[in-house]
Amino acid sequence: MRRDIFQAIADPTRRAIITLIAMQAMTPNAIAENFHTTRQSVSKHLRILTECEIIKQEQQGREIYYSLEIEKMKEIDQWLAHFREIWETRYNQLDNILSTIKNLKK
């Protein structure tokens, strides 16, 4: 089953996992140590993030390391960029209105 990337990042635990592995690749056990939940629960979150291709796993000896899939994160950023432009435009318009009001009161 292919999951939606935005459903995957909607979960706070999964966002926390993304934040953890953004700095360095980590094993499932190292990731699980950061949460007050079961290892199975963390594994489920890792599986969902892997299915969405937000993270990737790499075998190094007997350990599996999870790391961030930068290209997928760029896709999310590109989608958000459009909305960022809209928000920035509206904030700039609001700044202009507030400046105008402030200048009229002088």
pTM of the model: 0.76
* Structure confidence at residue 24 (pLDDT): 93
Domain ranges of the chain: 1-68, 70-106
Q: Which residue has the tokens 């609001």?
A: 94
Q: What is the pLDDT of residue 1?
A: 57
* Residue that has been written with the tokens 């979150």 in this structure: 45
Kindly state the greatest CA–CA separation across the chain.
Answer: 71
| Domain 1-68 grouped into CATH 3.40.50.150 | no
d(CA 76, CA 53): 12
Is 41 within 8 Å of 17 (Cβ atoms)?
no
Which residues of the chain, if any, have pLDDT below 70? 1-2
